[in-house]
Structure 1
Amino acid sequence: MAKKRVTRKQLLKEPDEFITFSNRIIRLGVAYKQHLMIAVGVFCAAVLVYVGMQYVSARSRAKAFNLLENAVARYDRELAQSGPAKALADVQGDFELILNKYGSNAGGRLARLTFAQYHFAAGGAERAIELYNAALVDFEGDPLYRSLVLSGLGYAHSLKGDSPTAISFFEQVVSGTVAGLKSDALFNLGLLYARMGQYDKSKESFQRIKEEFPESFYADMAGEKAKL
């Protein structure tokens, strides 16, 4: 099968730099023809190395996402039929393969986060925490995914029975920049503080949902709990 041709415009990520560098070489070319040929040769070799690395990286990411998509589809089918524990067992090998081969690229990082969520759903708090901790490093510079990981760690530690640690993670979500996850974190804080007997803090968390996120899914439930 013929390989799909990829143009220089598609592959080269800094076209302005290419044009600037080329123009400089051309201006020098009149006086230094031999040097020009050497410079062009070195430049082209560098471009080929860069393009090759980008191509391999793109193929690796595409492969990881394709494997992840298939694994998620299998999980969803098994989940509907047999529940989260059986669904997790069914895709365990798929996710281990993705993490082992592609764990450092975007598809692998997303697979790690998804795998953590599946372990949590199956009741595997310890393994979920391990994966979430790794994902916390993966998404350090991404506010949205970092908040999702922090929320996941809160849920996993809550499942484990470690309320103080769970609270610390949900508090980070609340103090973060992703507004869409804050009402969920506040609701969990309300429940966790109540579990620990800190009823004033519990009521305060529920009240914040009612005041700051009145359109939230949790607003009505939080309003009822704030009255208790």
Structure 2
Amino acid sequence: MAEKKTRKELLKEPDEFISFSSRVIRHARENPKNYAMAAVLAVLIVLGVLAWFAYRNHQEVASHEMFEKAYQGYEEIAYQDSVSPEKLDKVLDQLDQVAKDYSSLSAGEMALLYSGHVLYKKHDYKGALERYSRMQNTNLVKSGLGPLVLYHMAMTRMALKEYDQALLLFDELSKDNNSPYRREAYSSTAKLYELMGKNKEAVQAYRQYLKMFPEAPDATFVKTKIMDLSAKG
């Protein structure tokens, strides 16, 4: 059994913290230059971090201001049936500039997405697909915009008449229960089969659509489609 130390003996033992502090102070007195350099370095590091955060914040503000300006131009042409090529090019240039200057920020990624929309409106489907494909590696997609980008990629493949690739993308969307584009995916799958001249597959796809979405606003139209395609065989 270990011998119990008396209170008097314990008080005589040196306090480790005080001893360590004393050694540090003594070492600092003996090596003032080293400690001064360390202090300066620590201050520089703190200042560097603060400067980086300030710069990053400035970049965020500037990028959002530029994107808002470009987006206003996009809103003006988005729902117009007829837009001059010059106006489309102007909006595209603005979005491209934001996407280029702030590619690592959310505003730059949003600009990249909307530049794809403008190219789609210009009927430059290959250009639009290239932009949407680049979106796959962005933080916005990782944060939840994946289904949106996938949907636009599928629609662009459809416009390019790359039906097989479009079917694969719509199939992926239809299997995602949380996707807001699930109904559109089922509907577009049926339309694709129809465009491909595969009436039997189209009928089956339309029936599946009604099964999944019996209260769909276009249910009556789809039922008529099924009747017409079934008659064609």
TM-score normalized by the length of structure 2: 0.71
Larger Rg computed on CA atoms: 2
Distance 1:140 1:60, change over 3 A: closer
Q: Give yes or no for contact 1:109–1:135 (8 Å, CA) kept in 2.
A: yes
Post-superposition CA distance 1:139-169 (Å, at most 9, x none)? 5852631111111111111111211121122
Q: Give yes or no for contact 1:29–1:36 (8 Å, CA) kept in 2.
A: no
Post-superposition CA distance 1:81-111 (Å, at most 9, x none)? 6734544223122112112211222111111
Q: Give yes or no for contact 1:125–1:159 (8 Å, CA) kept in 2.
A: yes
Distance 1:30 1:95, change over 3 A: farther
TM-score normalized by the length of structure 1: 0.73
Distance 1:159 1:80, change over 3 A: closer
The one-letter amino acid paired with 1:105 is L
Post-superposition CA distance 1:16-56 (Å, at most 9, x none)? xxxxxxxxxxxx86763549887765555434333332332
Post-superposition CA distance 1:187-224 (Å, at most 9, x none)? 11110011113333323332333222345455444444
Segments of 5+ residues of structure 2 without an aligned counterpart are 1-19, 29-33
Aligned-residue identity in percent: 16
Q: Give yes or no for contact 1:210–1:220 (8 Å, CA) kept in 2.
A: no
Distance 1:208 1:81, change over 3 A: closer
**In the aligned structure 1, how far is the partner of 2:46 from the partner of 2:195?**
60
Which 4+ residue blocks in structure 1 deviate beyond 6 angstroms?
Answer: 35-40
Distance 1:84 1:152, change over 3 A: farther
Structure 1 residue 136, shift from structure 2 partner: 1.4
**In the aligned structure 1, how far is the partner of 2:35 from the partner of 2:221?**
74
Q: Give yes or no for contact 1:136–1:146 (8 Å, CA) kept in 2.
A: yes
Instruction: Give the count of matched residue pairs.
Output: 201
RMSD: 3.0
Distance 1:77 1:58, change over 3 A: same
**In the aligned structure 2, how far is the partner of 1:176 from the partner of 1:151?**
12
Q: Give yes or no for contact 1:193–1:202 (8 Å, CA) kept in 2.
A: yes
- 2:64 alignment counterpart: 65
1:32 equivalenced with 2:31 (yes/no): no
